[in-house]
Amino acid sequence: MTMATSVPKESFRLSMLLYDTRFRSYTIQIVVLILFLAALGWLVNNTVQNLAAKDRTFDFGFLFNRAGYDINPHLINYTNDDTHGRALLVGLLNTLSVAIFGCIFATILGVAAGVLRLSSNWIVARLMTVYVEITRNVPVLLWIIVTYVALAETTSPPSAFKITPDMVKEGIAPEASMHLWSSVAITNREISIPAPLVRHSLGSIDFGLFSLSLDFLAFVALLVASIAVSRWLGRRATRIQEETGRRPLTWPLRAAVLILPVVALLTAQGFHLERPSMWKTDTNGDYILVDGTGQELVDANGLALPDAEGQRITSGFNFRGGIPLTHAFTALLVGLVFYTGAYIAEIVRAGILAVSRGQSEAAYALGLAPQRTMNLVVLPQALRVIVPPLISQYLNLTKNTSLAAAVSFMDLKGTLGGITMNQTGKELECMLLMMGIYLVLSLIISAVMNVYNKAVMLKER
């Protein structure tokens, strides 16, 4: 009597691709992929044929042609003789500056508003509710435009800051004056704030497209090192507390580690703030520095001015020096921050309410103050609820920077998707570049926030 020791393997048949559950899913996926690639190929081929029928080509050579237009503001050196590619880079940096500062300020505002909305103080809680409900129910574009109009229409022109010798003699004050100990000038053109400078610079590294300041690099490296040492001291104190039950006093040393090295570096480099100064322009377009009494001191080249009266005829007046923040930039940033902050406030409120009330009661029973309870017990647990929707708000804020066109701010949309596209006629190429750039930015934000989300997740045993 013979017995079968193994089941014979069934030979492969084409029908198994449809009727065998082991292969059916792969078959469906391959068919869908082929159909998608075929549709994409047809779309690309049809586009190329239509462009050829209009004697147009699909290429990105226009990025190396002269731009021929000015961009203000610009974070890297740029003139209208540079290429469209450099104009794209300038617009991208302007977009990133709004997105980065917007995410930071919106988070601060949103967390504060979300926590205060749960305050036991009735007036504070109601005020935050009014802020959230009004801000969320008005389109963000309107907030941007309203902010821009308010800045442009309610502020004084630069000439209102002018002080002449006759005004000083008669004791007449100017129509407008600078703020914060004469360091900030708010005009109907821009807001000028002090600029951080150093007298003993380490120089910079030129990468062609941009230059990297060694002063800034040294500051960031020293700050990162100080933070790392401070965190190590904190972990060491925690380890000692777990072993002995007593936590050593570390905050003076940690504060010194964070502050003293940075202060020493800035002192050695001669750190100072350059305040905005009043300047006039003569008929030749040269700038003339003016002191607080309207007396002309020196021209833009540092040359002493002639004493003979009437040799310089002024034709304008403005502020120079410091960091000029255009009203377009300010309005875009403020509008996005207030709008996104309202949504973040609701996200924070929902995350806090998701934490069991027993956690707070246990912290109060241990003698923790309400503020310490919120910072040490509630918020760390609420982050697992807060972070995922917070990622969406960061993505929305970054993409909403394209609304800068409403206030004539030269971001990525204003440069690549605006003037460059109109000058070159390369609508398809410009739109594809813009879509790709915004896609990459969104993926980077998602990846970074997902890493942070994993770091704050509750670790289960």
Same domain? 354 vs 404: yes
Label residue 12 by pLDDT band (50, 70, 90).
low
103 falls within a domain: yes
Same domain? 330 vs 402: yes
Q: How far apart are CA 200 and CA 217, in angstroms?
A: 15
Q: How far apart are CA 198 and CA 213, in angstroms?
A: 11
Nearest-5° Cα angle at 47, 45 to 53: 105
Rg (CA), the chain: 30
* Domain count of the fold of the chain: 2
347 vs 8, which has greater pLDDT? Answer: 347
Answer whether residue 315 shows pLDDT above 50. Answer: no
Q: How far apart are CA 341 and CA 135, in angstroms?
A: 9
Closest CA relative to residue 340, chosen from 174, 92, 171, 108: 108
Q: How far apart are CA 102 and CA 399, in angstroms?
A: 12
Answer whether residue 293 shows pLDDT above 70. Answer: no
Answer whether residue 76 shows pLDDT above 80. Answer: yes
451 vs 283, which has greater pLDDT? Answer: 451
Instruction: Kindly report the CATH number assigned to the domain that includes residue 352.
Output: 1.10.3720.10
Closest CA relative to residue 340, chosen from 96, 94, 114: 114
Q: What is the pLDDT of residues 163-201, one digit of tens each?
A: 766 776 777 877 888 888 888 888 888 888 898 888 888
Give the pLDDT of residue 307.
Answer: 42
Q: What is the pLDDT of residues 251-272, one digit of tens each?
A: 889 999 999 999 999 999 998 8
| Range 436-443 contact pairs with CB under 8 angstroms and sequence separation of 24 or more | 437/92, 437/412, 438/398, 438/399, 438/402, 438/412, 441/96, 441/99, 441/398, 442/395, 442/398, 442/399
Q: Give this prediction's pTM.
A: 0.81
212 falls within a domain: yes
Give the pLDDT of residue 370.
Answer: 80
Same domain? 399 vs 342: yes
For residue 107, what are the domain limits?
A: 84-153+326-409+451-456
Answer whether residue 295 shows pLDDT above 70. Answer: no
40 falls within a domain: no
Q: How far apart are CA 106 and CA 110, in angstroms?
A: 6
Answer whether residue 219 shows pLDDT above 70. Answer: yes
* The last residue of a domain, from among 237, 254, 274: 274
Give the pLDDT of residue 2.
Answer: 54
- Mean pLDDT over 404-418 rounds to 91
165 vs 157, which has greater pLDDT? Answer: 157
Give the pLDDT of residue 284.
Answer: 53
310 falls within a domain: no
Q: Report the 10 Å Cβ neighbour count for 195.
A: 14
Closest CA relative to residue 193, chosen from 121, 116, 274: 274
